[in-house]
């Protein structure tokens, strides 16, 4: 099995240990461990109900954990609200994107973060928008283009670019390629690689194993709210599906046992 070893480079930006979340009598997360380093993409995968969305909302400050510790840049932190998470350096692009279709790209990028809120500096915002989009090699025809006229991939690009304005350390992307065509998916995956190359840590939530393999440095599997393995992009689909569905307790473990027996003979 292509299990990933813990990276040896420095301390992680984000470290979770024993993180749990309960909703009444229901345990949505139990004893979760997760590390994310600068300049790497960590894919978070699992079946429906595995706890992915709950974990994202814990890190985004929407839900507060009922147990465990979260360390950011080596120090324990408490993420009590989305504003605190963002101020700390954790940005989230949710699946609905939360873009205003009647506004143009510049307005969406700076909505709520206008450079001069009392007297909007349109020129400065436009220049900064173009600079950021060029750094990301984004395929946006014009920063004055209304969001309503953009493709799904271009909208995702605008949402990701907006998350970078405050220069976060960690960016979480929730199903960024869902409902996109082949060309648009490739555009977004290329963008994720460029975000990683800028030194950001990326947490990618996706059901698409091909997309995950294309960009992920490590693949973290959740099952029934618990960790169920850390894998590399070279791991076979069979092994990943086994870990996601719980079959890893039989087929994968038996395969590993057979290999060990062959090595001993």
Give pLDDT tens digits for 183-233.
999 999 999 999 999 999 999 999 899 999 999 999 999 999 999 999 998
Q: What is the pLDDT of residue 219?
A: 96
Model confidence at 262, pLDDT cuts 50, 70, 90, reads: low
Q: What is the pLDDT of residue 160?
A: 93
Query: What end-to-end distance do the CA atoms of the chain give, in Å?
Result: 20
Give pLDDT tens digits for 131-153.
999 989 888 989 999 999 999 99
Model confidence at 236, pLDDT cuts 50, 70, 90, reads: confident
Task: Specify the 3-state DSSP secondary structure of 15.
Answer: strand
Give pLDDT tens digits for 73-119.
999 999 999 999 999 999 999 988 889 999 999 999 988 776 555 55
Q: What is the pLDDT of residue 118?
A: 55
Over 90: is that where the pLDDT of 18 sits? yes
Q: What percent of the chain has pLDDT over 70?
A: 87
Q: What is the pLDDT of residue 4?
A: 47
Model confidence at 71, pLDDT cuts 50, 70, 90, reads: very high
Contacts 24+ apart (CB under 8 A), 208-214: 208/177, 209/45, 209/237, 209/240, 211/177, 211/185, 212/43, 212/45, 214/189
Over 80: is that where the pLDDT of 33 sits? yes
Q: What is the pLDDT of residue 76?
A: 96
> Measured between alpha carbons, how far is 171 from 201 in angstroms, rounded to an integer?
6
* Domains contained in the chain, CATH given: 14-234 (3.40.50.300), 236-265 (no CATH)
CA atoms within 13 A on the CB side of 26: 8
Model confidence at 249, pLDDT cuts 50, 70, 90, reads: low
What order of strands is seen across the sheet that includes strand 218-223?
A: 90-93, 170-174, 201-205, 41-45, 218-223, 226-231
Task: Look at 7-11, 160-164, 194-198 and tell me which has the smallest mean pLDDT.
Answer: 7-11
- As given in the structure block, the two tokens for residue 79 are 């993420």
> Measured between alpha carbons, how far is 173 from 163 in angstroms, rounded to an integer?
10
């Amino acid at each position: 099995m292509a299990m990933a070893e813990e990276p040896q480079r420095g301390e992680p930006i984000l470290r979770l240990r024993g993180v749990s979340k309960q909703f009444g009598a229901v345990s949505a997360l139990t004893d979760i461990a997760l590390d994310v380093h600068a300049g790497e993409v960590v894919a978070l995968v699992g079946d429906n109900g595995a706890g992915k969305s709950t974990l994202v909302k814990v890190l985004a400050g929407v839900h507060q954990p009922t147990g465990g510790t979260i360390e950011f840049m080596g120090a324990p932190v408490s993420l009590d609200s989305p504003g605190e998470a963002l101020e700390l350096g954790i940005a989230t692009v949710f699946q609905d994107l939360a873009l205003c279709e009647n506004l143009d790209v510049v307005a969406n990028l700076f909505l709520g973060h206008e450079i001069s809120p009392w007297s909007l500096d349109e020129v400065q915002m436009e220049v900064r928008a173009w600079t950021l989009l060029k750094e990301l090699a984004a395929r946006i025809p014009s920063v004055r283009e209304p969001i309503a006229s953009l493709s799904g991939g271009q909208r995702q690009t605008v949402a990701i670019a907006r998350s970078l304005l405050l220069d976060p350390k960690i960016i979480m992307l929730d199903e960024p390629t869902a409902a996109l065509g082949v060309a648009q998916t490739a555009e977004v995956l290329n963008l994720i690689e460029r975000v990683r190359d800028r030194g950001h840590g990326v947490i990618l939530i996706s059901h698409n194993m091909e997309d995950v393999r294309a960009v992920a440095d490590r693949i973290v599997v959740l099952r029934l709210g618990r960790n169920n393995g850390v894998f590399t992009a070279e791991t076979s689909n069979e092994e990943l599906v086994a870990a996601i569905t719980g079959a890893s307790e039989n087929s994968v473990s038996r395969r590993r046992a057979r290999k060990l027996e062959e090595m001993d003979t």
